[in-house]
Amino acid sequence: MAEIKKVLCAVDFSDYSPMVADYASMMAKSSGAKILVLYVAPSLSQYVGFHVPPSSIESFVGEIVTGAEDTMNAFVKENFSDLNVEGKVVTGYPAEEILAICEAEKCDMIVMGTHGRKGIDRILFGSVAEKVVKSSKAPVLTVRPS
């Protein structure tokens, strides 16, 4: 029988991230699992060479990460009471980081939201959730905004 010991809860701090947190909490409570809440900040490394000095980009990313860590601490405190929870902020491409951290942390399940983009937005931005679902070795529960 499948056993869930660790749930990766990927959030983007959008208005419906608390709904994603609710599902992760429910999974963790029913199985006694630990929750790893993950936020992936953009790396912006793709902008090096656009007449912006790399030091400016690194400084800007550093500020984003610091702000995201503060937001993560508040998010965890607000949305996960009485649970074994760790918040983590990393930089990179969301789908790749979610998959890599799921494997590195030996997570048994991923809970994440979908944005439900359509048309040109979906073509331009792709779907992080779709990439994770297609490539993850662990089961993925996707939560669509209501």
Closest by CA position to 36, among listed 74, 14, 9? 9
What are residue 59's phi and psi, to 5 degrees?
A: -65, -45
- Chain CA centroid to CA 48, Å: 24
CATH hierarchy code of domain 6-143: 3.40.50.620
Q: Tens digit of pLDDT for each residue in 18-67?
A: 999 999 999 999 999 999 999 998 776 655 556 666 666 667 767 777 88
Find where tokens 């993925």 sit.
Answer: 140
Per-residue model confidence (pLDDT) at position 122:
59
29 torsion bin: left (phi>0), alpha (psi -120 to 50), beta (else): alpha
